[in-house]
Structure 1
Amino acid sequence: MDKDILHNWEQKSKAHRKQYQQFLKRADKNKTLKKLPQLHEAAFEAVDCLQCANCCKNYSPRFKTPDVKRIAKYLGMKESVFISSYLRVDEDGDFVVKSSPCPFLNEDNTCHIYEERPSDCARFPYTDEDVIIKRQALTIKNSEFCPITYYVLERLFQEGI
């Protein structure tokens, strides 16, 4: 079943966008949240992030102040140097990486700063959190480039939760 779900997931996620939007609007929050841990775990068993890394190749997390402080220290840099070297301010006023792919993405899709990565990276793809319901537009966007988000959303949709 898992392989069937993930077969052509990129095309299916785009084709199902409206269905997912309607589903998320009417989804029972409590039932959904109760089901997420199981689906989140199953998705991570079905998908190897190191084979994908779409998130690191195409998007940037927000670097919050604690992230900047922690990562700059880890890299042995002054915060101002870290910011000027790697970050820019986006249209929402958040620090994000200057370029894609992420400058901390290694050739083997591992992360150079994995142990100190931004909290957004550690939490991504938010498939075990209420973010999946609270930030529906983000969930839909993520499902189009992240097979784990797609997997969880598709399973929720199929089960009609």
Structure 2
Amino acid sequence: MQSSKPMHLPFFKRLMQQNRRRFRYFLTRLETVKPKGMDKLAKEMDKEVWAETDCLACANCCKTMTPTFTKQDIKRISAHFNQTPEEFTEKWLYKERSTGDMMNKKQPCQFLNLKDNKCSIYEIRPVDCATFPHHTKKNFTDWVHVYKQNVEYCPATYKLVEKMMEKVGKI
């Protein structure tokens, strides 16, 4: 997987299935054993990973996950559609019971064009989408639980964890 070819979704799903246990074990160990330099290593490898990743070849995040919409997201996106935030929310979103987060009612995302995997509201998309898969949101060692979740959905996260495993080796 060292090439810069896009990782297509069916291939990614097979790879993830084959490596799920190994990746989860590695990430679980990193939650308790925090080798020195992991945060710096994650930032360096993040740059490498994005040079090899074509999100439009996949869009799995948009097909299988839902972002959390902030009040600011709702206000901005509803204005784009000439709707009130309440109209937008009623049409497209629901409130998640356990967290109170506003989420998409359906998947794949209603704003995803399935023919080319492009977002129809890309310039005004939710902040959660713009920052996904959150590799550099916080230090790696403080954010391992998010990598553990996103490695299942995102080829870029998969590649990052794979590179870390190669570099760090067994913990």
Same fold (TM over 0.5): yes
Within 5 A, what are the aligned runs for 1:84-95?
A: 84-91=90-97, 92-95=99-102
Runs of 5+ in structure 1 lacking a partner?
A: none
Q: Number of residues paired by the alignment? A: 160
Within 5 A, what are the aligned runs for 1:1-161?
A: 2-3=2-3, 8-24=11-27, 25-26=29-30, 28=34, 31-91=37-97, 92-106=99-113, 107-130=115-138, 132-160=140-168
**In the TM superposition, what is the alpha-carbon distance from 1:47 to its structure 2 partner?**
1.7
TM-score normalised to structure 1 length: 0.85
RMSD between aligned alpha carbons? 2.5
Q: Distance in 1 between matches of 2:140 and 2:17?
A: 17
Q: Which is worse superposed, 106-115 or 13-22?
A: 13-22
Question: Percent same amino acid among aligned pairs?
Answer: 32
1:102-135 CA distance string (max 9 Å, x none): 0111231111111111111011011223365434
Higher share in helix: 1
**2:37 aligned counterpart, secondary structure:** helix
Q: Distance in 2 between matches of 1:105 and 1:160?
A: 37
Q: Distance in 2 between matches of 1:97 and 1:131?
A: 28
TM-score normalised to structure 2 length: 0.80
Q: Is the 8 A contact 1:126 1:132 kept in 2?
A: no
Q: Distance in 2 between matches of 1:14 and 1:137?
A: 19
Q: Distance in 2 between matches of 1:116 and 1:30?
A: 38
